[in-house]
Structure 1
């Protein structure tokens, strides 16, 4: 499942290639990818075709394109085209004549456009999904409860799709409040990694980046949240922000061909992982200090947690 850095890489690609362009036509090749659009395929096509993409926005792992009637800018647009990537969803920018991908589900024809050098841009946005866990749908926009922008994007509109309204802000969101996170964190009374994975508390963090941030902050995943002091919270937020920023610079984390950017390229942050997936290998921080400590894999919530037993000692009052 792509996490915040991977979705943000896709958002930036879409913002560059799609913002300001009109979706001239829509072809649905597999209606299963529109199952979240309850009004049906014809309604989806009729709503999206002829719309102009005003902005591309992300909150946590949620991604949407704000739509407005082409040629009629609206102060507050009413709908957004949401893209749920699921386990294997991809949004690719292609030329219409390019060979169709094996698992191509939806084709959106875009209006002609050129880049800053006058080079013609590709005119088709494709939704490809091997496992069909993801999908596209149109959602109504509503005001954000705090009056701040709905998520990370250029338009900074105080609007959010109803389906994303329950998702907390993420650490890369300018409107994210570290103080609010600390207060709500201490009230959780659970293990710290479980809290990091709670998208209603802090969004965008999945298993990979939770393990990486905990390793960087020298914190065990079972640390009770109600024992967190402000310096502890600040330390983990700094670690999360640093890890995600580095992952963004590397184009995200790709372990196979299922996650790619809009131009089809894979991220390479997997080469820089310090903890996740490295069970049985030396902890690089310990090695730099002259210690030989092997990273460990432990079962957690039906998944795995990777940690260094020296750098991240298990607390006596551990809480899962």
Structure 2
């Protein structure tokens, strides 16, 4: 599933090619991709037709595109896209053959935020492709952010879609501080046990967004933390090391265009990322740790896998309930 770097690579492409343009027409080829939109395909098409896209914004893995209001006031609605496990947002020319698993097609007018020298070279369609149909598109109300800060990366407005109002800021958000991050990890919401492991916490999009299984393993390896170390027991230097590791891992992945293990994740031009070649932990079972040369191990975790070095990331003495089960 795409994580923060993959979503940010897509956002940057859409900020260049999609933001600032008008939507001439919307065509829905598979209504299942609009299951979150009230009114279905007719309402979706009617609301988008003739609207101008103001920006491409992201919080965590959540992407949205504020729509210019008719009265020139601040935007009240936004087109929302979630990539799910296999969703792709492709900027393509209408004369190109339609890709397999095409679900929604938006025909675009002129007015790109960063046009090429020749406007005729601009791709004139945004195509939402989704093989497994876990992702989708819908239009949602924009609501104020709880802290008054920008809703996400890509626009300064303190607004975000209502369905994303529960999503925390991601680790690349400049509003995070070391103290704020430490507090978010160690002062868990009521109902969360003090033995909840750190990986389970950083995967919680309500605590910190954008982190998935791959980058969690990478950052925990960088910070030398076992995935099951209780988050509530982290010392300040440990949480600061983890924040630095998350930021570093995400930035490295962005520099290489994201992580790709198959053809399902691509950027808006249909190209895959290369960060998989630089992974330090994820998928390296049996291979030597790049620090101590011990063999990396893979262990079951929440129906998936965790990869770690048994020497650099030693199991905590006080095991969480998850550890005891596995």
| TM-score normalized by the length of structure 1 | 0.95
1:162-241 alignment, distance < 5 Å: 162-188=162-188, 189=194, 190-241=196-247
> By how many angstroms is 1:112 displaced?
2.5
| SS in structure 2 of the partner of residue 14 of structure 1 | helix
- 1:14 is aligned to 14
Partner of 2:27: 27
Instruction: Give, in whole Å, the separation in 2 of the partners of 1:238 and 1:318.
Output: 25
Deviations 1:29-81 (A, max 9, x none): 111111110221111001111111101110111100111147x533x200000
Are 2:90 and 1:92 aligned? yes
Q: Which residue does 1:290 correspond to in 2?
A: none
Distance 2:52 2:72 in 1: 9
Q: 1:50·1:69 contact (CA, 8 Å) conserved in 2? A: no
Aligned to 2:36: 36
State which of 257, 263, 268 in structure 2 corresponds to 1:251. Answer: 257
Name the counterpart of 2:132. 131
- In the other structure, the counterpart of 2:268 is 262
Are residues 1:307 and 2:278 paired?
no
| Structure 2 equivalent of residue 273 of structure 1 | 279
Q: Is 1:77–2:78 an aligned residue pair? A: no
Provide the C-alpha distance between the structure 2 equivalents of 1:183 and 1:113, rounded to a whole number of angstroms. Answer: 44
- The Cα shift of 1:113 comes to 4.6
Partner of 2:101: 103
Deviation at 1:294, TM superposition (A): 0.4
Mapped partners of 2:300, 2:170: distance in 1? 26
The residue number in structure 2 matching 1:68 is: 68
- State which drifts further: 117-126 or 34-43: 117-126
* SS at 1:182 equivalent: helix
Aligned position for 2:191: none
CA distance in 2, matches of 1:258, 1:164: 24
Q: Is the 8 A contact 2:116 2:122 kept in 1?
A: no
Q: Could you list the per-position Cα deviations for residues 174-216 of structure 1 after superposition, in whole angstroms to 9, with x for gaps in the alignment?
A: 2223322212321232111111111110000000000000001
Q: Given the alignment of the two structures, is residue 296 of structure 1 paired with residue 297 of structure 2, yes or no? A: yes
- Show CA shifts across 1:207-264 (max 9, x none): 0000000001111111111221111110000000000000001100010000000000
Q: Note if contact 1:113-1:121 (Cα within 8 Å) is conserved in structure 2.
A: no
SS in 2 for 1:284: coil
Q: Secondary structure at the match of 1:51?
A: coil
**In structure 1, distance between residues paired with 2:105 and 2:267:** 17
What root-mean-square deviation, in Å, do the aligned CA atoms of Structure 1 and Structure 2 show?
Answer: 1.3
Residue in 2 that maps onto 1:318: 319
Paired residues of 2:203 and 2:211 also in contact (CA < 8 A): yes
CA distance in 2, matches of 1:318, 1:177: 29
Which structure 1 segments of 5+ residues have no match? 288-292
Separation in 2, partners of 1:281, 1:203? 30
CA distance in 2, matches of 1:160, 1:281: 43
The count of residues paired between Structure 1 and Structure 2 equals 312
